[in-house]
Amino acid sequence: MSKQIVALFAVLLLMLGTLAGCGATPEPTQAPAEPTSAPEPTAAPAEPTTAPEPAGAQNLILATTTSTQDSGLLDYLLPFFEEEYGVTVEVIAVGTGQALELGEAGDADALLVHARAREDAFMDAGHGVRREDVMYNDFVIVGPPSDPAGIQGMKKATRAFEEVAKAEAPFVSRGDDSGTHSKEKAIWAEAGIEPAGDWYISAGQGMGAVLTMADEQQAYTLSDRATYLARTLEGTDLVILAEGDPILFNPYGVMAVNPDKSSEIKIDLANQFIDWLISVPTQEKIGQFGVDQFGAPLFVPDSDPWRQAHPAG
């Protein structure tokens, strides 16, 4: 009897153990450690080195002459356009010949130059799709006050050049295929002279640099009036000795480069710039430039919209 009771008791213990195993989840012997703090990133993401360009920001490449740059006109004028249209204008100031080459190669969006015959040839060759008159001034023959060639007061540019060549007085030429250089060569050709010799110095430089050279060497040179007058504010001994000949007329034109030259050419922006440049409000600004310093504008407005708003007579 006692053996049966022991066996029954063993069976009951076994059943109770099984039920306990199928019941509540056993408690862990030790609570899992709480994280001491949220995990920190090992390093902050790198900040961009430069601020990103605002969406829609645009850049216009303007190839132009050194005279528009050296006279101070572009420094005065372009901020109005940039502020109004949110556009940055990148200026490449070179001689007219180089500016035309940049346009032909598709390396500029618009050109502002002053050599009408070459501008017409550029358009006729299909390098440009639009040309507009902008403004004009004139060329002057400047030299040292001592005037060794005796040209002061001459109204005929060819005669002044003849006297300079006869005296073999130092003459500094732009020598850079610019609009000014083209005009100088035209005057020599009309005078029937091929300038050569130690007295004739081909600088290959812009207008400002040539005026500095002529001042240092007490030489003659041909300059657009605007750049010469701007240079007088910095100090120069050079004086205007000959002026007023119709051959010295100096018109400026703006052109949009043919977009077929390059997929990078921004023709819409170029046309927007041209429309702004020839508009009456901008032409009025051109007509005001230089008045405070010299009592007269350095450039005369001459766009078609300006002429329509101010008919002659």
Question: Looking at domain 58-137+251-309, does it have CATH number 1.10.357.10?
Answer: no
Give CA–CA dist 282/154, Å, rounded: 35
- Return the pLDDT at 57: 64
pTM of the model: 0.78
Q: What share of the chain is helix, strand, coil (3-state, %, to 5)?
A: 45, 20, 35
Q: Which band of pLDDT confidence, cut at 50, 70 and 90, is reported for residue 6?
A: very low
Q: Which two tokens stand for residue 307?
A: 């002429």
Which run of H or E residues covers position 91?
A: strand 87-94
CB 103 within 8 A of CB 119: no
224: three-class secondary structure by DSSP: strand
Question: Looking at domain 138-248, does it have CATH number 3.40.190.10?
Answer: yes
Q: Render pLDDT for 251-287 as a digit per residue (tens, 0 to 9).
A: 999 999 999 999 999 999 999 999 999 999 999 999 9
CB 269 within 8 A of CB 58: yes
Give CA–CA dist 82/75, Å, rounded: 11
- If one compares 179 and 172, the residue with the highest pLDDT of the two is 172
- Greatest CA span in the chain, whole angstroms? 156
Q: Where are the domains of the chain?
A: 58-137+251-309, 138-248
Alpha-carbon 128 to chain mean position: 18
Asked if 58-137+251-309 and 138-248 have one fold, the answer is yes
Q: Render pLDDT for 94-149 as a digit per residue (tens, 0 to 9).
A: 989 999 999 999 999 999 999 999 999 999 999 999 999 999 999 999 999 999 99
- If one compares 49 and 208, the residue with the highest pLDDT of the two is 208
Q: Is the C-alpha dihedral spanning 292, 298, 302, 305 positive or negative?
A: negative
Q: Render pLDDT for 182-225 as a digit per residue (tens, 0 to 9).
A: 999 999 999 999 999 999 999 999 999 999 999 999 999 999 99
Say what the alpha-carbon torsion angle 182, 188, 193, 198 is, to the nearest 10 degrees.
Answer: -70
Among 114, 78, 77, which Cα is nearest to 94's? Answer: 114
Q: Which band of pLDDT confidence, cut at 50, 70 and 90, is reported for residue 312?
A: confident
Q: What is the mean pLDDT of residues 17-46?
A: 41
Give CA–CA dist 297/226, Å, rounded: 9
169: three-class secondary structure by DSSP: coil
